[in-house]
C-alpha cells in the first residue's frame, strides 16, 4: 500500500520533534453484505475503506491522527498532527531502518468473496428463508444476513518493525420467529470463519436455517424458567461468551492498570477451580478471532491466562508491555485505521477436561442445562454479570427434560471460576462474535467444553 522509503521518511519526520515512538497503521478493507427479511431483500451493500492512522508517543502522552490520503504528503501531514499532539523534547533527527517481518498467513483462501456474484450471495438468503419456513407452519418471520470482508493491513514503527496481513472473513446468520399460544419465540443460528466463500462448502445454510427454526418452535412449548440458586450445566460451545465477558475482559492489561479489574495484582494466585485452564489464542487458523499479526504488527500468540486454576498472565498490547519491560502478547487490536489500538481478546476458551458430558448431566440431580447463552452485561471491577439464556432445559433426576423460556444467569465471574466442579472432554468453539469496548468492535471467538457450575442464580419467572 505504501512504499518502504516513504514509510521510513514519514516515521523519521514524526520523531523529529522529540517523539519516543512512532507508528503507521495502513488499512485497505473491502466488504459486502446482504439482508433478507420477510422474504424480501432489504439491503445489498458493498464498500471500501482505505487509509492510515499515525501514532506518536512522547512519555506517557500519545498523539494520533488518521487520513484517507496515502500519498507521502497526506501521511506527512497526519504525522505532523500526531506529533504536535504529543510534542516534547528538544527535537533532532532519528533515522528509521525498517526490517520486513514475514508471518505465515495460516490458511489459503479458496474463493475470494469479492469474486462471487451478488446474485449468488442473495440466493443463499433465499435458500435459508425457504428452509426455515418449511420447518413448521408456525414460523411467522425469517431474517437472514450475509457479510464478508477482505482486510489488508500494513504496520510499521520506529523500532524498525514492518509487517503485513491479509485476512478474509465470511459470516452468515438466520433468525426465526415462531408464533403460538405462548406468544412469540425466537431462534437464531450463525456461522462465521476467517475464510473465503468456501465457508458454504463447509456449512449448509439450509441446515443452519432449519436449526434456527426448530429452536424457535421448541420454545413455544417451553415452561417458565425457575428462579433461585441452583446447579447449572453449560453445553460445549454454548457458553463461551460468559467467560469472555465475565473473566476475559478483567484479564486485559489496560483495565488492570486502571484498577478496573477484579484480577489486579493476582498473578500467581489461585483464582479458579484446578479444573480450569483459560486460554486466549489468536493463532487458531480459520476461527473468527484469528489473524497472522495483531494491529500493532506482532505475530498472533497462544496465551495461557489461567493454568490449572492459577492466574498466570494478562493480555498485553505494545505500549503497556514496553512500560513493564516485557513483550507484547499479540493482543493490540483496533476496529479500523481511524482508531487507536487497545488490549483486546482474540479466541478465548476453556480447555477440555476429562469428564464424560453425559455423566456430568447424570450426576446433576436437578438444575438447568444451558445450550446457548445470549448477550449480557458485566462489571469488570467486581466481576458481577447478567447473561440471557437463549436455549435452556430443565435437569430433573439427572436427565434433560423440558425446554425453558428465556431467562437470565446472574453471578460473579471469579466465583463462577471457583465453583466449576466438572469439565467435559467435548470442547467446541461457539458462534462468531463482535466484542465491543470503548466504542470499538472487533471479531472474536469463544468456546467451552460441557461444564458444571455448582451454584448460579437463575433469573426465571417460575415461582
C-beta neighbour count of 345 within 10 angstroms = 27
Helix (H, G, I), strand (E, B) or coil at 209: helix
Same domain, 250 and 329: yes
Q: Examine the pLDDT at 295 and tell me if it is beyond 70.
A: yes
Q: Examine the pLDDT at 439 and tell me if it is beyond 80.
A: yes
> How many angstroms separate the first and last alpha carbons of the chain?
62
Q: What is the pLDDT of residues 367-392, one digit of tens each?
A: 999 999 988 888 988 999 999 999 99
Question: In whole angstroms, what is the distance from residue 97 CA to residue 11 CA?
Answer: 10
Q: Which secondary-structure segment (H or E) carries 118?
A: helix 118-135
Q: Examine the pLDDT at 89 and tell me if it is beyond 50.
A: no
In a domain, 42, yes or no: no
Same domain, 234 and 317: yes
In a domain, 158, yes or no: no
> Which pLDDT value is given to residue 95?
54
Question: In whole angstroms, what is the distance from residue 38 CA to residue 140 CA?
Answer: 9
* DSSP letter for each residue of 219-280: HHTPBPPPEEEEEEEE-TTTSHHHHIIIIIGGGBHHHHHTT--TTTT-TTSB-S-TT--EEE
Same domain, 213 and 240: no
Q: How many residues does the chain have?
A: 463
Same domain, 189 and 232: no
Q: Based on the structure, what is the number of domains in the chain?
A: 3
Same domain, 205 and 243: no
Same domain, 298 and 438: yes
> Which pLDDT value is given to residue 375?
80
Number of helices (H) and strands (E) in the chain: give both, helices first: 10, 23
In a domain, 194, yes or no: yes
Question: In whole angstroms, what is the distance from residue 94 CA to residue 91 CA?
Answer: 10
> Which pLDDT value is given to residue 462?
67
At 222, list the grid cell.
Answer: 417451553
Q: 125: closest CA among 173, 168, 170, 169?
A: 173
Same domain, 245 and 353: yes
Same domain, 336 and 454: yes
In a domain, 359, yes or no: yes
Question: In whole angstroms, what is the distance from residue 349 CA to residue 429 CA?
Answer: 8
In a domain, 265, yes or no: yes
Q: Examine the pLDDT at 362 and tell me if it is beyond 70.
A: yes
How far, in Å, are 192, 290, 304, 329, 457 from residue 282 at the CA level? 15, 5, 12, 10, 32
Question: pTM value?
Answer: 0.94
Question: In whole angstroms, what is the distance from residue 195 CA to residue 170 CA?
Answer: 6
User: Quick one: angle between helices 118-135 and 205-220, nearest 10?
Assistant: 30
Same domain, 66 and 123: no
In a domain, 107, yes or no: no
pLDDT band at 90; cut points 50, 70, 90: very low
Mean pLDDT over residues 167-179, rounded? 98
CATH number of residue 134's parent domain = 3.30.160.150
In a domain, 40, yes or no: no
For residue 96, what is the DSSP state?
P
- Work out whether the CA dihedral 211, 212, 218, 223 comes out positive or negative: positive
The domain of 290 spans: 227-459
Q: What is the pLDDT of residues 211-255, one digit of tens each?
A: 999 999 999 999 999 999 999 999 999 889 989 988 999 999 999
Q: 81-95, 206-220, 254-268, 403-417: which range is least confident on average?
A: 81-95
Q: Examine the pLDDT at 92 and tell me if it is beyond 80.
A: no
Same domain, 209 and 246: no
Q: Examine the pLDDT at 188 and tell me if it is beyond 90.
A: yes
At 17, list the grid cell.
Answer: 520533534
Q: What is the pLDDT of residues 94-152, one digit of tens each?
A: 455 667 788 887 889 999 999 999 999 999 999 999 999 999 999 999 999 999 999 99
Q: Which secondary-structure segment (H or E) carries 403?
A: strand 399-404
Q: 8: closest CA among 28, 29, 27, 22?
A: 22
Domain-ending residue, one of 220, 242, 262:
220
In a domain, 26, yes or no: yes
Same domain, 17 and 84: yes
Same domain, 319 and 259: yes
Amino acid at each position: 500500500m505504501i512504499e518502504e522509503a516513504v514509510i521510513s521518511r514519514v516515521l523519521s519526520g514524526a520523531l523529529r520533534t522529540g517523539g519516543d515512538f512512532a507508528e503507521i497503521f495502513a488499512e485497505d478493507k473491502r466488504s459486502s453484505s446482504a439482508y433478507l427479511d420477510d422474504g424480501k431483500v432489504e439491503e445489498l451493500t458493498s464498500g471500501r475503506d482505505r487509509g492510515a492512522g499515525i501514532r506518536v508517543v512522547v512519555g506517557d502522552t500519545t498523539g494520533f491522527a488518521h487520513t484517507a490520503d496515502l500519498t507521502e504528503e497526506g501521511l506527512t501531514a497526519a504525522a505532523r498532527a500526531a506529533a504536535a499532539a504529543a510534542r516534547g523534547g528538544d527535537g533532532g533527527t532519528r533515522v528509521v531502518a525498517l526490517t520486513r517481518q514475514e508471518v505465515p498467513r495460516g490458511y489459503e483462501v479458496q474463493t475470494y468473496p469479492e469474486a462471487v456474484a451478488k446474485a449468488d450471495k442473495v440466493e443463499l438468503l433465499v435458500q435459508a428463508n425457504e428452509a426455515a419456513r418449511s420447518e413448521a407452519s408456525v414460523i411467522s418471520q425469517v431474517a437472514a444476513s450475509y457479510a464478508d470482508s477482505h482486510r489488508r493491513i500494513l504496520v510499521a514503527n520506529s523500532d524498525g518493525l514492518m509487517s503485513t496481513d491479509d485476512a478474509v472473513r465470511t459470516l452468515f446468520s438466520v433468525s426465526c420467529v415462531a408464533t403460538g399460544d405462548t406468544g412469540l419465540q425466537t431462534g437464531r443460528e450463525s456461522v462465521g470463519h476467517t475464510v473465503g466463500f468456501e465457508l458454504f462448502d463447509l456449512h449448509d445454510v439450509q441446515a443452519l436455517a432449519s436449526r434456527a427454526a426448530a429452536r424457535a418452535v421448541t420454545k413455544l412449548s417451553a415452561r417458565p424458567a425457575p428462579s433461585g440458586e441452583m446447579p447449572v450445566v453449560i453445553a460445549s460451545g454454548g457458553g463461551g461468551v460468559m467467560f469472555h465477558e465475565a473473566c476475559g475482559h478483567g484479564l486485559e492489561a489496560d483495565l488492570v492498570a486502571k484498577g478496573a479489574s477484579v484480577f489486579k495484582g493476582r498473578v500467581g494466585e489461585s483464582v479458579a477451580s484446578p479444573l480450569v485452564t483459560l486460554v486466549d489464542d489468536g493463532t487458531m487458523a480459520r476461527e473468527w478471532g484469528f489473524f497472522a499479526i495483531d494491529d500493532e504488527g506482532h505475530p498472533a500468540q497462544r496465551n495461557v491466562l489461567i493454568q490449572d486454576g492459577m492466574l498466570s498472565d494478562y493480555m498485553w498490547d505494545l505500549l503497556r508491555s514496553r512500560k513493564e519491560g516485557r513483550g507484547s502478547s499479540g493482543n493490540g487490536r483496533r476496529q479500523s485505521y481511524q482508531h487507536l489500538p487497545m488490549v483486546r481478546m482474540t479466541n478465548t476458551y476453556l480447555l477440555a477436561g476429562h469428564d464424560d458430558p453425559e455423566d456430568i448431566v447424570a450426576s446433576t440431580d436437578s438444575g438447568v442445562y444451558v445450550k446457548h447463552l445470549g448477550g449480557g452485561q458485566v462489571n469488570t471491577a467486581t466481576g458481577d454479570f447478567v447473561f440471557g439464556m437463549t436455549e435452556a432445559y430443565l435437569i430433573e433426576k439427572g436427565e434433560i427434560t423440558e425446554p425453558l423460556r428465556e431467562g437470565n444467569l446472574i453471578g460473579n465471574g471469579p466465583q463462577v471460576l471457583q465453583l466449576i466442579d466438572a469439565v467435559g472432554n467435548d470442547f467446541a468453539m461457539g458462534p462468531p462474535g463482535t466484542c465491543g469496548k470503548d466504542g470499538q468492535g472487533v471479531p472474536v471467538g469463544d468456546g467451552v467444553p460441557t461444564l458444571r457450575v455448582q451454584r448460579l442464580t437463575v433469573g426465571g419467572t417460575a415461582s
